[in-house]
């Protein structure tokens, strides 16, 4: 059995992405597609667990995404991504 995933490119172009949305993006270290969840948006402050729990402010016009896989492998990579 194979799973199918339908992607919506229009929402990203129209800036309709919200906290909690799952997004597909290109990996920063290659051409692979990865799936992450939007955790914070521009102007939000989050606690960065990998840097001594310090507070980090997400720059305006950016998203902060994290993997849903807890503390396993590259899924915990944090990213600040441009909107759209």
pLDDT for res 75: 39
pLDDT exceeds 50 at position 74: no
pLDDT at residue 20, as a whole number: 92
For residue 76, pLDDT over 70 is answered with no
Point out which residues pair with 65 in neighbouring strands. 38, 79
Which residues, 6 or more positions from 11, have their beta carbon under 8 angstroms from its beta carbon? 17, 21
| pLDDT tens profile 3-51 | 887 888 888 788 888 999 988 888 877 778 888 899 999 999 988 777 6
| Cβ 77 vs Cβ 83: under 8 Å | no
Asked if residue 77 has pLDDT above 60, the reply is no
pLDDT, residue 70, reads: 55
């Amino acid at each position: 059995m194979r799973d199918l995933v339908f992607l919506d490119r229009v929402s990203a172009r129209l800036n309709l992405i919200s906290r909690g949305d799952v997004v597909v993006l290109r990996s920063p270290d290659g051409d692979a597609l990865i799936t992450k969840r939007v955790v914070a948006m521009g102007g939000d402050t989050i606690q960065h667990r990998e840097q001594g729990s310090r507070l980090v402010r997400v720059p305006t016009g950016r998203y902060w995404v994290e993997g849903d896989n807890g503390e396993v492998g590259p899924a915990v990579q944090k990213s600040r991504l441009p909107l759209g």
